[in-house]
Every structure is written in structure tokens, then in C-alpha cells.
Amino acid sequence: MNIHLSQLIEIAQLDKDIEALEPLIKEKRADLDKALANKSKKQAEHALLEEEKRALNIQIGKNEQMLQETNGKIESIQRKISQVKSERELRSLNIEEDITKERANQANKEIDRLQNEIAHKSKLQESLDNSLQNLEEQIKILEKQVELDTIQLKEEQQEIFHKKQELTLKMDRKLIAFYEKIRRWAGNTCVVSVKKQACGGCFIRINDRTYAELLSSGDILTCPHCGRILYAHTPPAEVANQAL
């Protein structure tokens, strides 16, 4: 095989290896990102419960104010009853007193209901606090692991990058420029093998003449359809025979 073509195949593989590590780095963060998202969700739930409790306390305050006013009215009615002079006026005041007491009773019931609701929300917050505490511990462990894994992957990536640099220094400048030009649009499929007489990039069949030239020539050839750099795919059996 043409040495320049061999270099192109090797540098293309190194580029693939470098980029293959990027999703691995993101993958290492998956559990951490999930835990952080869960933490944010629970914090939002906690804050919402706190806001709901504030609104309930405002309602309790309104009911307590109404209860105070109602109690004052009951006292006023009772004073009037003690000074009443006619049976008719007494009946009217008794009815008014009963209605006012019922309002006071309803206000007390509403206060009890609101306080129970606040207590329920506080229990939910307590449960969330426990979950958040566990999440914080989990996040600390995951952050340390992600940091270690990322450092390791970055070191691997840097090692491959150095290999690429060393190879690039040995290559012809024009050849590198040619490779990078194709790689700008083809990415990691800029150098592909030909299998069953089809380009490994666009998968379109190559004509017999180009295919024969690819097999016999030492020149660097590109796909007539897509422009990717081609090399002949050697089946495992043939590689074994060549080794013998």
C-alpha cells in the first residue's frame, strides 16, 4: 500500500479515536447530571411547598381576624341581650347571636383545616429535606468519580493527539491540507474502505475501471461520487494469506 495512503488511514483512525472519547466523557456525567436535575426538581418542590404554606398562613390570619371581629360582635350582642326590654327584640338578638356563633364556628374549623394542611406540607418538606441530604452525598461521590474518569479520558485523548501530531510532522504538507479539506465536510468518514466494490462513505458502487485502479495502483484515489479518500478493504482471510 502507498505509504501516503497508509498515513492517511492512520491519521483518520486517530481522529476517530479522539472524537470517540468525547461521548464517553459526556456519558460519565450522565448519572451526575441526572442527580443534579433531581436535586433541582426537589428544591423547586420544596420552594413551592414553602410558598403554599405562606399563602395558607395568610388565610389563617384572615380567618383569625374575622374570628376576633365575630367574637367582638357576640360580646356586643350579649350585652344588648342583658339590656333587652321586649320579647321580640330578644328573639331577634338570639337569632343574630346564633348566626354569629355559627360564623365563628366555621372560622375555627377553617383555621384547623388550614393548620392541618400546613402540617402536611411541612411533613412533605421534611421528606424532601431527607432526600436532598441523600442526594447531596450522592452528588459529592459522583463528582469525584466524574472528575477522575474525565481526567483519565482526557489523558487518553491527549496521548492520541500527540500521536497524531507526530504522524502529521512526517506527512507531506499538501497531503495534510488535502485530508483536512475533505474532513471539513466528511468528518470521520473522510477516509473509507471499499467493500463489495462500494464506497464506505456514500455506499454507491464504484465503476470497474476505478475499482481495478484502486486494487492495483499505489496512487491515492477518491470516490467519483462523493470525493472521499478510498482504500481497498482486505478481507481477514486475505490478510492471513499475506502474512504467510
Is-contact 91 99, C-beta < 8 A?
no
Q: Which domains does the chain have, with CATH numbers?
A: 19-170 (1.10.287.1490), 173-232 (no CATH)
- Average of per-residue pLDDT across 61-87: 91
Task: Give the model's pLDDT for residue 64.
Answer: 94
Assess whether pLDDT exceeds 80 at residue 234.
no
Q: Is 174 helix (H, G, I), strand (E, B) or coil?
A: helix
| pLDDT cut 70: percent of the chain above it | 95
Assess whether pLDDT exceeds 50 at residue 35.
yes
Average pLDDT in the chain:
90
Binned at pLDDT 50, 70 and 90, residue 239 comes out as very low
Task: Give the model's pLDDT for residue 243.
Answer: 35
Binned at pLDDT 50, 70 and 90, residue 1 comes out as low
Is-contact 200 193, C-beta < 8 A?
yes
Distance, in Å, from the CA atom of 182 to the CA atom of 94, rounded to the nearest integer, reads 98
Task: Give the model's pLDDT for residue 190.
Answer: 95
Task: Give the model's pLDDT for residue 19.
Answer: 87
Is-contact 131 24, C-beta < 8 A?
no
Backbone angles phi, psi at 231, to 5 degrees: -145, 155
Assess whether pLDDT exceeds 70 at residue 154.
yes
Distance, in Å, from the CA atom of 69 to the CA atom of 107, rounded to the nearest integer, reads 11
Is-contact 53 121, C-beta < 8 A?
yes
